Structure 1
């Protein structure tokens, strides 16, 4: 999709041509009308241009598919861009959009959300994440590297900028104020106060009925309790003999760890798009004293880079039905397609999902078979065989 990120009110400006970009979501899905950018991306780029910024070291946080990274590279082609993200799909999406727009990918420097950004950064552009606990943690980490007076610009939908969000800045980074609304979005401008905050301790909790202790980093789904879908899955684990099991979209790893209890001779492979999820799972595996030789951990976009020698006979899957704030089923589609591709002949895909999502239709199309293993008023457990 060809878009123009206009950063001035005048449609006659040459900048309009400079910021004409071809941006796609990742993975590319031609059957969706979801955009790879939003008005908050445009507003942030507009602010940078109107302020006349010429920074040579800029941090970009939570850039989903590269609208900010691509736009800044066009505006300031010599600037080093330090990209902080927790999602493997964001890295792939940004790289893909840089390549399709023939931008200089050597200007990109990658950081996970557990790594500190360099102290040489003089400007931070950020998208407001949905998870405010994760957002607080990001602000705390910025306080540990940004000198006093460093500007941080955060773009978000106007309705998402609440007094609670503004207070998070005061508590964790410095004073902040929101701009006027533009295309139903606002930009929060914060100046770092130079005070270093300490990271909060990870969330810790227990699942006594399965003798499991959990330890979650801030961007892991259901960070301090067992989510309802996972509970239904735990109550309806597959029967049989399995040697190689994948927990696909593992989150904190609870499904794979339960599988390790039920199938003590099986190797368990944990995969998630979130680096924090994979790190949490590895910590939980060790904390619950599972054999280190049985557990394998991958920060990956579904099963795209899983080693070729891994041939699962069981895949457990609790798919997400959103990507950022967008509700979408294409992640589940990719998970199911990857599962079909990687399973051994006769292997099982065991899925939990909300009833209204209609996963049985997708599974029937992909596997030519699908049966309901269990259900309640909200969730359904489905199983397909390769």
Structure 2
């Protein structure tokens, strides 16, 4: 994996967060390089700058290397992005003081003089960000947006013009382009949350703009909901919770359980919290005392006192536009470490991802609960013995290095 970033006389060492992940994915792309090259060529001076969607800190670290006192506001919906930016600033001995950290729902300050953005994959979320900017940017404020050339088309430019101001794209460089937008000073309203019903579960679901499955039940969650585990569970984690529907239904099935919702997306965590309140799932008058909502990198910062007896998990197999299984590895390994002895990890995934191999490697057991032509439900139980090889020192990288070749025998017959 390449960690040496070099463009326009800027030399940095950049890595995705966490550093010990085994994804072979670098922490920047050509769109980052193009935007920094543009800033250098136009001799951009240090002004109060908002940076949005800086995946792992390439933009933030570059600006701080150009001027350690460059006034910055950094907005991200992903906790791993925020942690990655902080990690890369520290690696390159660049100051992180005085950076204003924002999530995608915080009020934006009105003092912004320049905006740098990476075009997100989710254009609904992109429109939401543009609307937010329109509420604070003075007329004629420059907004620079970089992306792969294939992602920039007439409809994207029209979207920007509709929600913020006139936009034009640069010539292509390394298969990327930089869009220059000039804010028109017109204030746009933020869109309302999408809300939809799941009648068979008697649940109402509300989604913010950057949450997966925005207006309907996704098919992976649907088969999971139809095949929930049996037991008397008292502490449950919905890991990678999205809008929280698995954890919500778990509370319906196990009313005495305490539910922990965890996701890398702050908007997902807020959606899960709103859905908990919307569906009035607190019991015995204990309002707000039967669930927690954690914006985190998987279970990295889970309280040491939390020892769940059930973890529900629908792992992502991509990070941004990159297809990767390192997040699933991390989720499974951290689940093994967090579960109480005898606790269960209940997982849904596409059949071709071969999650059973990983679970068998970590838990030494794996059972197929259900399967169809596309998805499989797998269950692994933590059966701890005296020697616990993964409890403290085994890293995800070491696990991946020793992964056996995937087999399909555990999937069972198609239904």
TM over 0.5: yes
2:276 matches 1:304: no
Aligned position for 2:259: 268
Aligned equivalents of 1:299 and 1:78: distance in 2?
29
- 3-state SS of paired residue (1:175): strand
Q: 1:108 offset after TM fit, Å? A: 1.9
Q: Deviations over 1:301-353 (max 9, x none)?
A: 11111112211000000000111111111111111011000000000000000
1:114 to 96, 101, 105: 105
Aligned position for 2:90: 99
2:173 matches 1:179: no
Q: 1:29 offset after TM fit, Å? A: 4.1
Aligned position for 2:393: none
Aligned position for 2:249: 258
Aligned position for 2:333: 337
Aligned position for 2:352: 356
- Tell whether the 8 Å contact from 1:29 to 1:330 is kept in structure 2 after alignment: no
Aligned position for 1:383: 379
2:354 matches 1:347: no
Q: Tell me, which stretches of 5 or more residues in structure 1 are unaligned?
A: 8-15
Aligned position for 1:323: 319
Aligned equivalents of 2:349 and 2:19: distance in 1?
23
- 3-state SS of paired residue (2:97): helix
Superposition TM-score, scaled by structure 1 size: 0.96
Change (3 A) 1:127 1:355: same
2:204 to 206, 210, 213: 213
- 3-state SS of paired residue (2:223): helix
Alignment map for 1:82-231 (pairs within 5 Å)? 82-231=73-222
Q: 1:293 offset after TM fit, Å? A: 2.1
Between the two proteins, the alignment pairs up a number of residues equal to 376
Aligned equivalents of 1:200 and 1:141: distance in 2?
10
| Cα root mean square deviation, aligned | 1.0
- Tell whether the 8 Å contact from 1:79 to 1:107 is kept in structure 2 after alignment: no
2:238 matches 1:240: no
Q: Deviations over 1:21-55 (max 9, x none)?
A: 10001122463321100000001111111111113
Q: Deviations over 1:91-138 (max 9, x none)?
A: 111111111100011142100001132211111110000000000000
Aligned position for 1:26: 17
- Tell whether the 8 Å contact from 2:17 to 2:84 is kept in structure 1 after alignment: yes
Aligned position for 2:4: 3
1:293 to 285, 289, 295: 289
Aligned equivalents of 1:166 and 1:332: distance in 2?
35
Superposition TM-score, scaled by structure 2 size: 0.89
- 3-state SS of paired residue (2:80): helix
